[in-house]
Amino acid sequence: MNTMSHQPRLERLRRRMEEAGIDVMLCFKPENSFYLTGFNPIIYSHPVVAILPREGKASMLVHALRDDHARASTFLEDIRLYGAWSTKVTMGPSWLEALKTMLTEGGFAEAVVGIEEDFLPMTRYRDLQGILPGARFADVSQLVFETRLIKDADEIANARAAAAIADVGMYAAVDAVGQGGNEREIAITSMAAMNRYWAETYPDAEVCDFGSLEGGVQNGLWTWVFTHERIFMNCDNPTVRRPVKGEPVFIDIWTIVNGIHAENERTVAVGTLPDEIKRAIESIIAIRESIVPLIKPGTPISELYAQARRGLEENGYGRFLPGRIGHGIGLGAHEGPSLDAKTSFPLEAGMLLTLEPNLRMPGVCGTQISDTILVTETGCECLTRSPNGFLQV
Amino acid sequence: MNTMSHQPRLERLRRRMEEAGIDVMLCFKPENSFYLTGFNPIIYSHPVVAILPREGKASMLVHALRDDHARASTFLEDIRLYGAWSTKVTMGPSWLEALKTMLTEGGFAEAVVGIEEDFLPMTRYRDLQGILPGARFADVSQLVFETRLIKDADEIANARAAAAIADVGMYAAVDAVGQGGNEREIAITSMAAMNRYWAETYPDAEVCDFGSLEGGVQNGLWTWVFTHERIFMNCDNPTVRRPVKGEPVFIDIWTIVNGIHAENERTVAVGTLPDEIKRAIESIIAIRESIVPLIKPGTPISELYAQARRGLEENGYGRFLPGRIGHGIGLGAHEGPSLDAKTSFPLEAGMLLTLEPNLRMPGVCGTQISDTILVTETGCECLTRSPNGFLQV
Q: Given this model, what pLDDT does residue B2 score?
A: 47
Q: How confident is the model at residue B86 (pLDDT cuts 50, 70, 90)?
A: confident
For an interface test with A, the pick among B113, B212, B284 (most A C-beta atoms closer than 10 Å) comes out as B212
Identity of the residue numbered B246 = G
Asked if the Cβ–Cβ distance from B234 to A66 is below 8 Å, we say yes
A215 interaction partners in chain B (CB closer than 8 Å): 209-210, 217, 220, 261, 332-334
A203 interaction partners in chain B (CB closer than 8 Å): 239-240
- In the three-class reduction of DSSP (H, G, I as helix; E, B as strand; rest coil), residue B353 is classed as strand
Which long-range contacts does B231-235 make (Cβ < 8 Å, 24+ apart)?
Answer: B231/B360, B231/B365, B231/B366, B231/B368, B232/A68, B232/A69, B232/B360, B232/B362, B232/B366, B233/A68, B233/A69, B233/A72, B234/A65, B234/A66, B234/A68, B234/A69, B235/A41, B235/A42, B235/A43, B235/A66, B235/A69, B235/A216
Residue A1 has pLDDT above 70, yes or no: no
Asked if the Cβ–Cβ distance from A218 to B254 is below 8 Å, we say yes
- Separation between Cα atoms, residue B322 and residue B135, nearest integer Å: 44
Cα-only R_g, chain A = 23
Question: Which residue of chain B comes nearest to A222, CA vs CA?
Answer: B218
A31 interaction partners in chain B (CB closer than 8 Å): 214
A69 interaction partners in chain B (CB closer than 8 Å): 232-236
- Separation between Cα atoms, residue B85 and residue A319, nearest integer Å: 10
> For chain A, what are the domain ranges?
7-148, 150-392
B316 interaction partners in chain A (CB closer than 8 Å): none
A379 φ/ψ angles, rounded to the nearest 5 degrees: 175, -115
How do residues B125-183 score in pLDDT, each as one tens digit?
999 999 999 999 999 999 999 999 999 999 999 999 999 999 999 999 999 999 999 99
A334 interaction partners in chain B (CB closer than 8 Å): 43, 45, 214-216
Asked if the Cβ–Cβ distance from B333 to A43 is below 8 Å, we say yes
Q: Residue B52 has what DSSP assignment? A: E
Q: Given this model, what pLDDT does residue B5 score?
A: 67
User: Which residue has better confidence, A174 or A43?
Assistant: A174
How do residues B316-375 score in pLDDT, each as one tens digit?
999 999 989 999 999 999 999 999 999 999 999 999 999 999 999 988 889 999 999 999
Show Cβ contacts of residue B363 under 8 Å, excluding neighbours closer than 6 positions.
none
What's the full length of chain A, in residues? Answer: 393
For an interface test with A, the pick among B29, B96, B122 (most A C-beta atoms closer than 10 Å) comes out as B122
Work out the mean pLDDT of chain B and round it to a whole number.
95
Nearest one of B279, B246, B191, B222 to B392, comparing CA atoms: B246
Q: Residue A69 has what DSSP assignment? A: H
Asked if the Cβ–Cβ distance from A117 to B121 is below 8 Å, we say yes
Show Cβ contacts of residue B106 under 8 Å, excluding neighbours closer than 6 positions.
B24, B51, B53, B56
Residue B1 has pLDDT above 60, yes or no: no
For an interface test with A, the pick among B237, B251, B359, B365 (most A C-beta atoms closer than 10 Å) comes out as B237
- Burial bucket for residue A332 (CB in 10 Å: 0-12, 13-18, 19+): buried
Helix (H) or strand (E) holding B80: strand B78-82
Nearest one of A263, A202, A261 to A235, comparing CA atoms: A263
Nearest one of A189, A208, A218, A201 to A165, comparing CA atoms: A201
- Separation between Cα atoms, residue B26 and residue B131, nearest integer Å: 14
Q: Residue A369 has what DSSP assignment? A: -
Please, are residues B367 and B389 in contact by the beta-carbon 8 Å criterion? no
Residue A4 has pLDDT above 60, yes or no: no
Please, are residues B262 and B166 in contact by the beta-carbon 8 Å criterion? yes
Please, are residues B144 and B120 in contact by the beta-carbon 8 Å criterion? no
Asked if the Cβ–Cβ distance from A188 to B195 is below 8 Å, we say yes
Q: Given this model, what pLDDT does residue B364 score?
A: 87
| Three-point CA angle A239, A240, A242, nearest 5° | 110
Q: Given this model, what pLDDT does residue A5 score?
A: 67
Q: Which of B85, B237, B334 faces A206 most closely, judged by CB atoms?
A: B237
What does CATH list as the number for B150-392? 3.90.230.10
- In the three-class reduction of DSSP (H, G, I as helix; E, B as strand; rest coil), residue B212 is classed as coil
B75 φ/ψ angles, rounded to the nearest 5 degrees: -95, 5
Please, are residues A62 and A81 in contact by the beta-carbon 8 Å criterion? yes
Identity of the residue numbered A58 = A
Asked if the Cβ–Cβ distance from B239 to A203 is below 8 Å, we say yes
Work out the mean pLDDT of chain A and round it to a whole number.
95
Show Cβ contacts of residue B152 under 8 Å, excluding neighbours closer than 6 positions.
B5, B6, B8, B9, B350
Beta strands A112-115 and A136-139 are: parallel
Question: Which residue of chain A comes nearest to B201, CA vs CA?
Answer: A240
Q: Which of B212, B214, B237 faces A208 most closely, judged by CB atoms?
A: B237
Interface predicted TM-score (ipTM) over 0.90: yes
Beta bridge mates, A269: A248, A392
Question: CB atoms < 10 A from the CB of A201, how many?
Answer: 12
Show Cβ contacts of residue A220 under 8 Å, excluding neighbours closer than 6 positions.
A207, A208, A209, A254, A255, A256, A261, B215, B217
Q: Residue B206 has what DSSP assignment? A: -
- Separation between Cα atoms, residue B367 and residue B315, nearest integer Å: 14
Show Cβ contacts of residue B300 under 8 Å, excluding neighbours closer than 6 positions.
B344, B345, B346, B347
A206 interaction partners in chain B (CB closer than 8 Å): 236-237
> In the CATH scheme, what is the homologous superfamily, with its name and number, of domain B7-148?
Creatinase/prolidase N-terminal domain (3.40.350.10)
Nearest one of A316, A391, A377, A329 to A355, comparing CA atoms: A329
- Separation between Cα atoms, residue A287 and residue A356, nearest integer Å: 10
- How many angstroms away from the CA of B239 is the closest CA of chain A? 7
Show Cβ contacts of residue B181 under 8 Å, excluding neighbours closer than 6 positions.
B189, B242
For an interface test with A, the pick among B27, B236, B241 (most A C-beta atoms closer than 10 Å) comes out as B236
- How many angstroms away from the CA of B369 is the closest CA of chain A? 16
- Separation between Cα atoms, residue A125 and residue B126, nearest integer Å: 13
B196 interaction partners in chain A (CB closer than 8 Å): 188
A216 interaction partners in chain B (CB closer than 8 Å): 222, 235, 254, 333-334
Asked if the Cβ–Cβ distance from B222 to A219 is below 8 Å, we say yes
Indicate left, alpha or beta for A339 from its phi (over 0: left) and psi (-120 to 50: alpha).
Answer: beta
User: Which residue has better confidence, A242 or A43?
Assistant: A242
Q: How confident is the model at residue B212 (pLDDT cuts 50, 70, 90)?
A: confident
User: Which residue has better confidence, A86 or B288?
Assistant: B288
A117 interaction partners in chain B (CB closer than 8 Å): 121-123
Q: How confident is the model at residue A2 (pLDDT cuts 50, 70, 90)?
A: very low
How do residues A93-128 score in pLDDT, each as one tens digit?
999 999 999 999 999 999 999 999 999 999 999 999
Identity of the residue numbered A303 = E
Beta strands A360-361 and A380-382 are: unpaired
Distances (CA, A) of A67 to A105, A259, B342: 22, 20, 23
Mean pLDDT of B28-33: 96
- Separation between Cα atoms, residue A304 and residue B168, nearest integer Å: 48
Q: Give 3-state DSSP helix, strand, coil % of chain B, rounded to 5.
A: 40, 20, 40
- Separation between Cα atoms, residue B39 and residue B31, nearest integer Å: 10
Q: How confident is the model at residue B4 (pLDDT cuts 50, 70, 90)?
A: low
Does this chain's domain A7-148 share its CATH topology with A150-392? no
DSSP B145-203: HHHHHSPPHHHHHHHHHHHHHHHHHHHHHHHHHHTT--HHHHHHHHHHHHHHHHHHH-T
Question: Which residue of chain A comes nearest to B82, CA vs CA?
Answer: A323
- Separation between Cα atoms, residue B71 and residue B90, nearest integer Å: 15
Q: Which of A210, A214, A331 faces B333 most closely, judged by CB atoms?
A: A214
Residue A92 has pLDDT above 60, yes or no: yes
A62 interaction partners in chain B (CB closer than 8 Å): none
- Burial bucket for residue A164 (CB in 10 Å: 0-12, 13-18, 19+): buried
Q: Which of A121, A239, A362 faces B117 most closely, judged by CB atoms?
A: A121
